[in-house]
Chain A
Amino acid sequence: MEPTVVTVEREGERHVARELASGTFLAPRPLASPPGVLRLALVGIRAGLLTGDALDLRVTVGPGARLELVEPAGLVAYDHRGGGATWSADVTLGEGARLCWGARPFVVSSGARVHRSMAAELAHGAAMLWRELLVLGRCGERGGALHSVTRASYDGDELLVEDLAFSAPEERDLPGILGGARFLGSVTHFGAGRPEDPADPYLTALAGPGALVRHLGPSAPPLESALDTAWDAWHECPQDPQPSERP
């Protein structure tokens, strides 16, 4: 299976997409971009994730460049009937680079077995705004097995390493882990130059430059609304003329 590759560089005041390679699952499509940022949509070109699927995404933003990734639709991992699937994103940000990525819901159906990984390496002065919503099960389902790993480093130092081992429902439903919540959503600002923090009870500074807002619960709407607030507070990529497009 082919990876989706996005490489963006800055040449003077212009942003240049050095490489836009469609992978097996996602195709990067340029959107109308205001000055100072390149906006790309990650368009799904194949249903997924089915058993044996491996979605691979590689994003590189060169020094001083700004990229905004927009996802028109979420992703569903279907019943893998004993198999499994993987989703992995590798992000590399050069000095002073910026990436805003409002990922859409990642739904793990009952019977699915997914390994998900997001690895981000930020050079000095870089920043990444990242939103994710993990959903265990479609409506009425308990949800399948999800193992979601996040690794972010800033200037060579580990900033956040997290292993959400939600494979066994009886374990993830323990008090203190998810306690029965089916939705887990986060907005994280990794790296330098964070705008003013949102007033959110679940805001925390990371162990380095960065901060995280996380909500979990039994339903999506209240959670999405809190994530919207954090996203808006920290979103610093130049705005789109139609802000309603933002996830």
Chain B
Amino acid sequence: MTAGIGPLAALLLADGRLPVGAYVYSAGLEPAVAAGLTREEIPALLRARVRTVCVTEAAAAVLAAREAVARDPVDYGPLQRALAARTPVAPLREVGAALGRGVHRLALRLAPGHPAIAALDTAVLPGPPVLRPLRPVVTGALGAVLGLAEAELARTVVYDDLQAVASAALKLLPGDPLDSVAWVAQTASSVEEAVVEAVATSKPSDLPARSAPLIEQWALEHARTERRLFLA
């Protein structure tokens, strides 16, 4: 049991070397490039994500973390449903569940038998189709168990998304790898705005829902493509 490891948890969860399968995810960059996005536009794509999908996911993680410690019995169902309703396109829900499965495996290893992790079964939506726990729900539950503060958790979720784009750029639109670091660093003030909004969210029905219609369209195009490096 590794519960309550505190600040180290943020570094572990945000590390690209974390073996939970996130390398299959370009956070929408591969379909964006297929639709014509250029390397010069990547900082703008990061700004788009940090104002839309990142806020929703960070807020969902924060609510999951609160649910993990506050209630008995823990029920992630309403949150999972709220997050699914704010993820209108099916391929993005499927990817969220696939990525959630990786973090879930990690959670079972780090905190076996912890009630907040065992309760992730309550996040399964019966469907059809069945929707397994989405990644922000699982990350939030694990973050709470590890003793991560809410703002750190929210920042970790946003950072992970932006870093997924920036590091996928090395494969999809190669250039100076130092650019990737600079792009993410430039988003700092927007990241903090997203963190503040995520932490201020009080219940699933208030979960932010700002959508990015082109990101959704690209995800639908990507799901139909046979030639691809990343799941999404």
A residues near B (Cβ < 8 Å) are: 149, 157-165, 171, 174-179, 181, 184, 201-208, 212, 214, 216
- Dominant SS at the A interface? strand
Once A175-B32, A176-B45 are accepted as A-B contacts, the answer to whether A160 and B213 lie under 8 Å apart by CB is no
Supplied contacts A161-B86, A176-B215, A177-B214, 19 more A-B pairs, CB within 8 Å: A161-B82, A161-B209, A163-B208, A174-B47, A176-B49, A176-B214, A178-B214, A181-B213, A201-B220, A202-B220, A204-B90, A204-B91, A206-B88, A207-B81, A207-B125, A207-B131, A208-B85, A214-B216, A214-B217
14 example contacts (A-B, Cβ-Cβ < 8 A) are as follows A157-B85, A158-B85, A160-B88, A161-B82, A171-B47, A176-B32, A177-B51, A179-B214, A201-B221, A204-B90, A204-B91, A207-B85, A207-B88, A212-B88
CA A167 – CA B218 in complex, angstroms?
23
Known interface pairs A171-B51, A202-B220. Does A164 touch B45 (Cβ–Cβ under 8 Å)? no
Q: Would A164 and B208 count as touching, CB distance under 8 A?
A: no
Size of B's binding interface in residues, CB under 8 A: 40
> Hey, which chain A residues are within 8 Å of B211, CB to CB?
162-164
A207 near B87: Cβ-Cβ < 8 Å: yes
Q: Select the residue from A157, A165, A175, A179 with max chain B CB neighbours within 10 A.
A: A175
A158 touches B81 (CB 8 A): yes
Docked complex: B103-155 residues within 8 A CB-CB of A: 125, 131
Contact A204 B47 (CB under 8 A): no
The contact of A163 among B41, B131, B209, B215, by CB within 8 Å, is B209
Nearest CB in chain B to that of A152: its residue: B85
Known contacts A176-B28, A216-B213; is-contact A158 B48 (Cβ 8 Å): no
B→A interface (CB under 8 Å): 28, 32, 37, 41, 44-45, 47-49, 51-52, 81-82, 84-91, 93, 125, 131, 205, 207-218, 220-221, 224
| B residues near A171, Cβ cutoff 8 Å | 47-48, 51
Contact A175 B45 (CB under 8 A): yes
- Across the interface, do B44 and A175 meet the contact criterion of CB distance under 8 Å? yes
Closest B residue by C-beta to A174? B48
Q: Are B131 and A175 in contact (CB under 8 A)?
A: no
B213→A178 contact, CB < 8 A: yes
Which among A161, A165, A171 has the highest number of chain B CB atoms within 10 Å? A161
**Distance of A130 from chain B, by nearest CB (Å):** 13
If A201-B220, A214-B216 touch, whether A175 touches B48 (CB-CB below 8 Å) is yes
Chain B: CB-nearest residue to A173: B44
Question: Does B213 contact A184, Cβ atoms closer than 8 Å?
Answer: yes
Residue of B nearest to A207 (CB): B84
B89 near A204 (CB under 8 angstroms)? yes
Given A163-B211, A164-B213, A216-B213, A158:B205 Cβ within 8 A: yes
- The CA-CA distance from A206 to B127 in the complex, in Å, is 11
- Give the Cβ gap from A200 to chain B, nearest Cβ, in Å: 10
Chain B residues whose CB sits within 8 angstroms of the CB of A184 once the complex forms: 213
- For B213, list chain A residues within 8 Å (CB): 164, 177-178, 181, 184, 214, 216
